[in-house]
Amino acid sequence: MRESSAPRWALSLYSLAWRLLLPLALLRLWWRGRREPLYRAHLGERLGRYAAPERDAGAPLLWVHAVSLGETRAVAPLLDALRAQRPGLRILLTHMTASGRDAGRALLRADDLQVWLPYDLPGALRRFLQRFRPELGVLMETEVWPNLLAVCADAGVPLLLANARLSPRSAARWARWPRLATAAFGAIDSAAAQTEDDAARLRALGVREVTVAGNLKFDRHSDPKLHALGLRWRAAVAPRPVLVLASTREHQGIAEEALLLDALPAALRARVLIVLVPRHPPRFDAVARLARDRGLRVQRRSIGLPDAGTDVWLGDTLGEMSAYFAMADAAFVGGSLLPLGGQNLIEACAEGCPVVMGPSSFNFAQAAEQAAAAGALRRAADAAGVWSALQTWLDQPQQRVSAQQAALAFSAAHRGAAVQHAAWIGARLDAPGGGLGQQPQ
């Protein structure tokens, strides 16, 4: 168990800043709750005040924090692997976003708990730990918060960083505050990194025990029901080709959807159905207007299937991304035309859908390189290049089929991270004084 070595004055200043910003943070939650009502639910939990029942005395609890939708989806195969290893394991699942909490409900078992993790304030975090008393905490990917780590260290709750990734940009930001970074990352007991590069950056910032266990997102198997749904959608729009623009985003007032639709060649527009799936639900209405303003005929998934006159089918539902990819001939994965690091290309490959990405992919750097080397991904410098790459696959059926097969092979070749992570966590659960002990089989 590490001890927090954060300078108390630094943590005090950081906590003061949080307290000053807290009213704005709560107002932002209320504002977001206009379109996503779950943000207005259980507001007291954000401050460490819970109506959820306390854990039963003697019933061990593993706390897993999956901040948002991507982390929640990634944790699903890990929970399956842990439960296979330990059938009696109870989970406390925490989140910060509405999409993460909504998706997390499907991962719960009868005795599990699900709540918001409090904001990074010492008092709120202490109340959280006192309420649930977890023996061990598992933070997904990059959830490193100074007070969270310090309070857990003071309370004797070991913390693991699972499926850990740290981009060069994030590492450079942390390096600007070396004492705070060393204190924060040094308080992590152990990390399981996605890649060797991630591991090296974590060690440089102070994590003393790091292993490389792969990327859990490869272990999310195709959902047969969603795959079948996507094939039904495809049959309904046949014989038109289908191109998916997935997880598109906005940055500093620039929308990837605008860039792409403005660059769409007229001949391609007349030929294909575009399935447009924005990353964030609050943008659904704005993106629909954006497409209509460009003279495109828009139908929304929540209203019905596209017809022969539909140019753009707007994916305005959650939890169906795999179906959209199963429907597609090929896809663009968003967050990559703007400097946002790219979204999850692995989910598309698991459905046999080849991918085009823009120049920014630091969130999935190694996966993007490996997918490109396998023939499952093509790079584009700009929006026009995205359409050119997608059209090449449409015009060259043999190349498209080869890319689809390459996507499936690439996805299958990198599975196994869930088993490795479960073994890594299990070793800490069984460590003397540091975990849950062996669960009955």
Outline where 33-167 has alpha helix (H).
69-85, 98-104, 122-132, 146-155
How many whole angstroms separate alpha carbon 216 and alpha carbon 194? 8
The one catalytic residue in 3, 36, 54, 71 is: 71
Note every long-range contact of 384-389, with CB atoms under 8 Å and residues 24 or more positions apart, other chains counting. Answer: 384/263, 386/260, 386/263, 386/332, 386/337, 386/356, 386/358, 387/260, 387/263, 387/264, 387/265, 387/268, 389/356
Is the Cα torsion angle 104, 368, 273, 383 positive or negative in sign?
positive
Q: Which residue has the tokens 């909504």?
A: 102
Burial class for 178, CB neighbours closer than 10 Å (0-12, 13-18, 19+): exposed
141 is annotated as an active-site residue: no
Burial class for 25, CB neighbours closer than 10 Å (0-12, 13-18, 19+): exposed
Q: Show the tokens assigned to 115.
A: 């709540």
Angle between helices 397-413 and 365-374 (to 10 degrees): 130
Amino acid at 287: V
Q: Show the tokens assigned to 55.
A: 């854990």
Asked if the peptide bond before residue 239 counts as cis, ω within 30 degrees of 0, the response is: yes
For 114, the 3-state DSSP assignment is strand
How many whole angstroms separate alpha carbon 374 and alpha carbon 383? 23
How many whole angstroms separate alpha carbon 30 and alpha carbon 37? 9
Is the Cα torsion angle 354, 359, 364, 370 positive or negative in sign?
positive
Q: Which residues of 195-220 are buried (b: 16+ CB within 10 A; e: fewer)?
A: bebbbebbeebbbeebebbbbbbbbb
Catalytic center residues:
71
